[in-house]
Each structure stands twice: as structure tokens, then as C-alpha cells.
Structure 1
Amino acid sequence: MSVTVSSAPSRAASVDARSWPDVARLPRTSRLRTAAAERLVLRAFGRLPLRVRPAGGEPIGLGGPLLEVHNPQAFFRRIGASGLIGFGESYMAGEWEARDLVGVLAVLAEHPATLVPEPLRRLRGAWAPTRPAGHRSTSDGPRAGIGHPYDLSNELFALFLDETLSYSSALFRGFPAEQNLLPAAQHRKIDRLLDLAQVGSGTQLLEIGTGWGELAIRAAQRGARVLTVTLSSEQHAVARRRVHEAGLADRVTVLLRDYRKVLGRYDAIVSVETIEAVGEELWPEYFRMLDRLLAPGGRIALQSITTPQERLPASRTNYTWIQKYIFPGGLLPSTEAIEQVVTGCTGLRVAERYGFGPHYAETLRLWRERFAHRAAAVGALGFDETFRRMWTFYLAYSEAGFRSGRLDVQQLLLTKEETV
């Protein structure tokens, strides 16, 4: 069953109610709350460097990228009911559009104080959605949160990733980058991590979070022996095939296994953008596990998306659009939080730190452009228009976070303190 949720027929999105119940149906909320949301949002937009044009009305704002609201009634009702989650769901439903979607989202990311007035920020607990208990990681099983986004379809990711199948930030020589430079930039990122961990001939390397196998292959080509573990069955199958095709099956073991069940000691450990899905509750366990698995004199190289320390308290309880639709159990750490947990719970220390957030924005731009270019192929895989709008919003939302400086990505070197 599908329903039309927009009052503007030429703009309407047909939404499958079974697949997207909260997009297909407008939320229940009072007229008072909807009216209050409209007043607050329009007042905020009027103070921002963008233009907002409700259907049949004149643009408001201080100039900049244009946000066109095709169905104002539904748009404000969703925001009144669930804030920024409703804002994202309204885009999925086709109720608003922006030619420069990243530009609009970057403006919003850069002006959070304008969007949410101080009195409402103090009362956030009364109106902001909170994370469902089922979306919190537990010691029994964070698998759903970690594996969920990667088990969609190998074919889907292959449509917008480059030939290395690397689903993490690349490291470019300069901007703007072109599509054909992305594979080299991904290898540059991988090589920097392997260099940090001093991976070379004879290194016993553990990789937590296999992806589709490119880092393990690259390490084995240096002469390392690699154990790499993943919780994604989709990625496991492809990574094993790629390792075999590279002629490295004798050097790389790919296991479908929880990282906490790994045994042994390793000269080096590498993990790329995995801690974000672990969940704050399990950060101490995660780093204690790294400490236990690292051989004396070994080195750990991590890559992590990070958030500013001042945003972490709100992130602990807030329930966001990204958590609802993309990463159910995720929480971005701050670099300060990582250092506090590492120092307080382990014998490890953060020895080096390198931030390159603008490179992630550029990586996301290339993914987003390729995804848009291959929209027909995405549809041919069985992903409907609502999914395609969701994924477009996700890539743009993430890119805007890095372009605005609200997000960063870090490579960190962890070493173990020598004991006397």
C-alpha cells in the first residue's frame, strides 16, 4: 500500500506505508503545537543566510540557498511533532526541496542557536525525542547497530563507492577532487593508517571492521598477516572473495565474528570508523579489549568521526534522524571522550592525533554526486523513491556537518605505556 502525503500533486511522493510508516502518515500532534512550530521556524529562518519559500508565498530570509516548501501544513506539522526528525521525514515525503541541499543543511548546522531559542534549549527534555531503549548498545549485543547499515546490499554500495569499496573518509592531495582521484585518496588514507601502526613484513595485524576488505588486502601486500573481523554478512562474503581474487588468502583471514570474541595478541590493530557504532556504554569495554589484544610494543591506529565535546551531553539522550534511519545504535565520540576513556580504563595512551574533516566533506560530495547520477540503477535494485530521497538526505546531511565544522574525522595513534 502506498499513500500520497503532499497536497501539491506535481510534487507529491508516493510512499509505501508498510516500508515507511512514519513518512507515509502525518504524525499526530495538536494544532497549537503545529502553529507554534510554524512561528518559531519562520522566525528562525528569517534570521539565517538562506531563503525559504512556502508554496504560494514570497521567500523569507537573508539570502543564500533556497528551500522550497511544497506542503507547508505537513512540513510544520512534522517539525512540531518531532523536530529535526520530522524535518528529515518531510524531505523523504517530498514536502520540501532544495537545489543546493548541502548548502541549506550547512546553514542550519552552523546556526543551531538561531534554530532553537535559549528557552526551548533549557526545556529540551520536554519536547525533543529521546533515544528508544532498543537503540542503546548493551554488553549482550551491539550487532544490530553496527551491522545494520552495511547489510542493505553490496550492489547498492558499489553504485556510489569507488573501486576500492571504501566506505570512510578519503585523504586527498587538494580540493576540489574529481571522481577518478577517489581510489588514490582512499589508498592514501589506508596507507597513512598502516604507517601509523607500523605495519610491514611479518606484522601480525588485527583489523576490527573489515568493510569490503581493501585495508586488509593493502596490509597483506606489505607482507603482514591479517585477521579481520566483521559483523556484516554482506561485507564478509565480498571481502573473502576479494582477498581470494587478490591471491592473498594465505595471508588474510576474514571472520564473521564479534570483535569481543577475538583471541590472541597482535603487533598492530587498525579500525576505521567502527567506534561510532559501538555506543558510549561499551567504550570502556572496547578500549580494554584493544589493550588486551595488543602485544608489548604494539601500536593501534584508529579512524573515527568526532563531535565537539560540548555537544556530547545532548547527543547522549537525543534521538536524531540519523539514528532512526541510518545508524540505530550510533553515538559520535569527542576526541576528549576518547582520551578520557583510554586514560581511565587502559594502559594505552593517545600518542598522535590528526584531523581532516574537510576531506570527509569532499568524499561525501563525490559519493552523493555518483549516487544521484546512478539513481536509475539504484531503483533497478528495488530501492524505492523514498529510500533514494532518504539516502540523498543522509549523504547531504553528513557532508553539511563536515563543511560547517560541526563534525571532524580523526586518525589516532594509541600506544601502550611500558611497565617496569
Structure 2
Amino acid sequence: MSRSRAHRAPDTAIRRTRNVPRPNEGVWPGLATPPHAPMRALVAEALFRRAVRSVPVRVVFPGGKRIGAGGSDSPVMRIVRPEAFFHRLGAGSKIGFGESYMVGDWTCTRPADLLTPFAAQLSTLIPPALQRVGRRIAEARRPRAEMNTVDGARENIHRHYDLSNELFSVFLDETMSYSAAWFADGSDDLADAQRRKIDAMLDLAGVTSGMHVLEIGTGWGGLAIRAAQRGARVTTMTISAEQARLAEERIDAAGTADRVQVLLRDYREAQGSYDAVVSVEMVEAVGAQYWPTYFAALDRLLRPGGRVGLQAITMPHDRMLVTQNDYTWISKYVFPGGLIPSVEAIEQNLRDHTGLRVVERRSLGPDYARTLEHWRTTFLDRWESVAALGFDETFRRMWEFYLAYCEAGFRVGYLDVFQFSLQRR
């Protein structure tokens, strides 16, 4: 099969009129100045002090005053600027806590260890009644501008995945896989674990020689290359122009260019019929409004008798329902428009909008915690290489917090990740 190059989309640069962060340019709208919210700051401080009484951490204020239930070996959270910290927390806890770390209002040498006990008690740190009140009066809601329409999804993806191919190559392994690895017993080799994950996904989709495989969400081409090495023909789709460019280069270098076609195209625009469909950690970028369309596309594009391999980050269903409209720090700075589904939401969408059902599944949650630890350690160890690309200290703290925050969620099971094999009922 001759391979056509990825069709190039129009310039997807962020519209300058939008007040959104541009991390690759060192632009952080409003971040330097803490909000002024004196009454909310008082409430936030009271709730924070109450919460840490039961959390095994140590919180140290200027002057040396300490609170928290942690012992001498517990992680230490140092509050550098208490007034700014509590004003940010009061103005919006779901955004302010992370922003405070970005600007240095608080610091910690072991952020993943610190965030883990907080994540373990996330639903009970604040009394449920106060959570409901806070959600109504204080927490921001998802901006309509970040809805995942065809154009909106392209811009949302651009804001994260098009930061810099060089940035991702600094901390990812040689497979350039930006999703959960699957470690073999006794092994801590990330590249081997990523290849094991990819092979497991291809096995769940039943990919063998001679098949025509559709991949929704190219990444940097690792899975497409592996499928082609099995003898399959691959059509892989992405809406990230930067990913498409590097994926093509990697596919060429692997000697699989004659068997892989890269398309710069949205899943809603996909056409054709395929022996297998694979999609790895793509559904999190779809948004609840478009889940029926996404799952229906998997069904529509699959030939009779074929299988779908799906890898998806998940969260508990009750927490998903409560928080699905919240605008969080992750939404603002890392994954605009993103929403993590629950297993129940996936199964319900399959029942209601497709003829597909789950026939096999496995959880890789603890493996994702290990994957994130690898990424965070490598990112910090190679920070000078990242800084040389033009990223500033605010970005360093943002990325460290992002990776530690996610690692903590997977450590305690607040987040999970599943590989599913789907077949028609």
C-alpha cells in the first residue's frame, strides 16, 4: 500500500483573544497576582487546617509552626506565602491549589508522596454539605469555548500535544508512548513495559498479518509501527499536526512507511471498514457530550467479526457524575476539554449507542503510577534540556505538579486505567 502523507490542517494557533495559558510561550494570564477573596480565604484556611489534622503529612508555616497528622518521615508541605495560598484556595480550590504550587506559594520535595494521602481522602476531606455549597457558589464551570466540537477538539489537543515534540522526547521512552505502560513481573524497564502494553492492545483487537487496522489517536506512531511489524496495514488518525509530523518520520525510520497511512483527521470524519480498531487513551479527550458519537464510530468502522482494542483512564462513577462539569486545574493548564469516564459510563454508551460489548478487560492502574513516576523523574533529571527548548520555571513546576498529581490518583485507586476488548453482541 502506498502511504499518503498526513493532510495538513490550517494553522491551529491559539486565538490571541482568548484568555488561556500558553505554556510554550511562557504566557500565564493572571497567574502572578493572587485573587482578592478575604472571606473565602478565611473559610479555605479553616477547612484546610481541619482537613490536614487527619492526613499523614506535615504542613510547615513561616516561623516554623507545624500542623498535620504526619510523623518525622512524612512528606513536608512548606507554606511560603500563606496569605496568597489561602486566597487562591478560597477563590477556587480545584484550580488554586495547583496554581499556588506553580508560583511557589507552597513547595514540597516529595509532591507525589504529599498528594497521595490527600487523594486517598479526596471525597471526605471537606464535609459533603460544604462540597455541594462550594460547587454552587465558588467553583468555576467548564468554558463553552472548550467544547469538543470538531474545531474545538483540534484547538484543545493543540494546547497540549503540540507544545513541542522535543519536550515529549525528553521524558518519554524510546517508543514515544504517552500512555500507561504494563510492567512485567520483576522488570522496571519502561520501554519494555510500553512494548508489552502495545502488544497487549493489539492482541485484544486480534491484530494479525494481512489485516487492515484503524488506529484512532496516533500519538507518535509507536502502536502503528508495531502493528505494521506484525504484517498488518494501518490507517492511523490524529488531529495533532505536530504528532503527525513526527509519527511519519518515525514510521519512515522503522521501515514501515509502505504499510502505514497517517491521516490528520477527526474520528468523526473517519470512513471505511476495518478488520480491527484500536484506540489508546483517546476517549478522555472526547467529552461526555460526544461519547455516544465516539463509541458509535468504533462500531460503524468495524467489519463484522472484528474486534476493538480500547485503553481508557477511568474514575469512580459517582465521582464522575459529581465533577463532570467542574473546571479544574488539569482542565485549565493541561487537558482542556478533557473528561475521564467511568467503566459504567463506557458500558452504558456501548449498550445505548452500539452493538458492541466488553468481552475482556484488565486493569493497569498501579502500572500507570509507575509510568508517571518514570516520566516525572526523567523530566526533572533532564530539566536543563527542557529549559533549552524555551520553557520557563513556571512550566517546570506546572509539569511536575501535573505528573505528581496524576501519579497520586493512580496510587490510591482514585484513578484507574483499563484495557478492553470489544466485540459485537
TM-score under structure 2 length normalisation: 0.91
Partner of 2:211: 203
Cα deviation, residue 119, structure 1: 2.4
Partner of 2:108: 98
Distance in 2 between residues matched to 1:221 and 1:201, nearest whole Å: 9
3-state SS, counterpart of residue 112 of structure 1: coil
1:205-240: CA deviations, max 9, x gaps? 000000100100000000000000111111101111
The alignment status of 1:170 with 2:178, answered yes or no, reads: no
Distance 1:41 1:17, change over 3 A: farther
1:174-214: CA deviations, max 9, x gaps? 36x54xx1111000000001011111110110000001001
1:176-191 matches, cutoff 5 A: 178=188, 181-191=189-199
Checking the alignment, whether the CA contact within 8 Å between 1:34 and 1:80 is kept in structure 2 is yes
Partner of 1:394: 402
Aligned-partner residue type, residue 275 of structure 2: D
Distance 1:113 1:307, change over 3 A: closer
The alignment status of 1:69 with 2:76, answered yes or no, reads: no
Checking the alignment, whether the CA contact within 8 Å between 1:315 and 1:331 is kept in structure 2 is no
1:145-184: CA deviations, max 9, x gaps? 2343110000000000001100001000136x54xx1111
**2:281 aligned to 268, 273, 288, which one?**
273
3-state SS, counterpart of residue 24 of structure 1: coil
Checking the alignment, whether the CA contact within 8 Å between 2:360 and 2:420 is kept in structure 1 is yes
**2:330 aligned to 316, 322, 329, which one?**
322
Partner of 2:126: 116
Distance 1:140 1:163, change over 3 A: closer
Checking the alignment, whether the CA contact within 8 Å between 1:302 and 1:412 is kept in structure 2 is yes
Partner of 2:9: none
1:74-85 matches, cutoff 5 A: 74-85=84-95
1:117-164: CA deviations, max 9, x gaps? 222123121222211111222366422223431100000000000011
Partner of 1:379: 387
Distance in 1 between residues matched to 2:218 and 2:116, nearest whole Å: 31
Checking the alignment, whether the CA contact within 8 Å between 2:94 and 2:327 is kept in structure 1 is no
Partner of 1:368: 376
Checking the alignment, whether the CA contact within 8 Å between 2:313 and 2:415 is kept in structure 1 is yes
Checking the alignment, whether the CA contact within 8 Å between 2:62 and 2:79 is kept in structure 1 is yes
Cα deviation, residue 308, structure 1: 0.6
Distance in 1 between residues matched to 2:291 and 2:259, nearest whole Å: 30
Aligned-partner residue type, residue 62 of structure 2: A
Cα deviation, residue 33, structure 1: 1.6
Checking the alignment, whether the CA contact within 8 Å between 2:26 and 2:392 is kept in structure 1 is no
Checking the alignment, whether the CA contact within 8 Å between 2:273 and 2:301 is kept in structure 1 is yes
Comparing 44-53 with 326-335, which one deviates more in the overlay? 44-53
Distance in 2 between residues matched to 1:67 and 1:16, nearest whole Å: 28
Checking the alignment, whether the CA contact within 8 Å between 2:291 and 2:349 is kept in structure 1 is yes
**2:360 aligned to 336, 342, 352, which one?**
352
RMSD: 1.6
Distance in 2 between residues matched to 1:171 and 1:334, nearest whole Å: 20
Distance 1:247 1:17, change over 3 A: closer
**1:286 aligned to 287, 294, 309, which one?**
294
* Unmatched tracts of structure 2, length 5 or more: 1-22
Cα deviation, residue 47, structure 1: 2.1
The alignment status of 1:241 with 2:249, answered yes or no, reads: yes
Distance in 2 between residues matched to 1:16 and 1:212, nearest whole Å: 19
Partner of 1:159: 170
Distance in 2 between residues matched to 1:174 and 1:81, nearest whole Å: 45
Distance in 1 between residues matched to 2:25 and 2:151, nearest whole Å: 32
3-state SS, counterpart of residue 45 of structure 2: helix
**1:136 aligned to 137, 147, 158, which one?**
147
Checking the alignment, whether the CA contact within 8 Å between 1:226 and 1:253 is kept in structure 2 is yes
Cα deviation, residue 114, structure 1: 4.1
* Unmatched tracts of structure 1, length 5 or more: 1-14
